[in-house]
Amino acid sequence: MSLLDLTKKYKKIEYERLKKHNKTLPFDVYSFNAKDKNYVLLAKKDAPTTRLDKAQTDEFFIHKKESGIYNSILSEDLPEYRRSFENKLQDNSASLEEKTNALYSYADLLIENTITNVEDKDKMNETKSFLGLTMDMISVNLSLLDKLQSADDADSYIFRSSINVAIITMAFLQVLAMRNKDITPKEILNAAQGALFRDLGMTHLPRAILHKPDKLTNQEYGFVKLHTFFGYFSLLRSQAIISHAGLNVVLYHHERQDGSGYPYGFKGPEIPFFAKAVAICDVYNAFISDRGYRKAMSPFNAAVKLKKEWQDKFDQDLLKYFIILCGPKDLITSNIDKIK
């Protein structure tokens, strides 16, 4: 078995966080043997957590299948992560990188716990609060877009991309609002919430399809297309706290201007406005992210690809302003009204 295959099966954990909440291990814990390039069992489930204190390593791993248990434990620390993020936002001496790291530390845990349990109304409300804080951060500094962080493994891609597409959406819609597009802050937050949950339906797909390294068959791709329905109806069934505009984003973010998208093959005016906007942000984020079959593009190259190869797929007016967003952020405010 290759090292790549092995890394797909294990997840690194924060031991101090685990020890804070658990006296006994709720899962088997492993270390990584760099010499032999394999994972070695350190302690079995139900052993005292303190047994890991004697381990000759400071890196600990669990099977990916135990991620749900681990994340539910860490969710108890959400208030602490939130306070850290809020404190960084208010700290004028903190760098943008420090603020961004605090954002992802909080968001990664919050979003994964929420997407896997949209029935939890408290967490759904907290995601709206998180989006509000992040929108304030973007309003102060659009350069947050230059600090977007990719997922470190395939399992985390859905959750991390959800955060990134929501951030890109808020920045994009704020730029449109600056151009007198009659978009309110509430509408921006509703669209961003839709962006956050747009791939909720992907969590219902088989792992064999989600992580397939080769090209999908037509049948497999047809199954992937169902994720828009899966996500939409999951949110409806759970009575999750999400706006009509947000639901439209979840259902229609793969529709295309020329009618080549799914699930309905809608064209131009048939597609809801905010779904059109999020669709551009979604594709752009995919371009600038590492994927199993290719390396991430630079923001510039991603913008060029959108301009050259995707013009017919997106609303031309929206695409024009999005490509401007990909440029130097300090020039946007002063030049937005000059764009023809």
Tens-level pLDDT at each residue, the chain (340 residues)? 444 444 468 888 888 888 888 899 999 999 988 888 889 999 999 999 999 998 888 889 999 888 878 878 878 889 999 999 999 999 999 999 999 999 999 999 899 889 888 888 888 999 999 999 999 999 988 889 999 998 766 667 889 999 999 999 999 999 999 887 789 999 999 999 999 999 999 988 887 787 777 788 899 999 899 999 999 999 998 877 899 999 999 999 999 999 999 999 999 999 999 999 999 999 999 999 877 667 888 888 999 999 999 999 999 999 999 998 887 665 544 454 454 4
> Which letter does DSSP use for residue 215 in this model?
P
Domains of the chain, by residue range, sit at 3-68, 123-338
Residues 104 and 302: their CA atoms lie apart, in Å, by: 23
Where b means 16+ CB within 10 Å and e means fewer, 51-85 reads: ebeeeeeeebbbebebbeebbebbbebbeebbebb
Residues 4 and 211: their CA atoms lie apart, in Å, by: 12
Asked if residues 47 and 22 have their Cβ atoms less than 8 Å apart, the reply is no
Where b means 16+ CB within 10 Å and e means fewer, 110-144 reads: bbbbbbbebeeeebbebbbebbeebbebbeeebeb
- Decide: pTM greater than 0.85: no
CA 94, 100, 103: angle at the middle one, nearest 5? 110
Among 123, 121, 131, smallest CA distance to 162 is for 131
Q: Domain 123-338 belongs to what architecture?
A: Orthogonal Bundle (1.10)
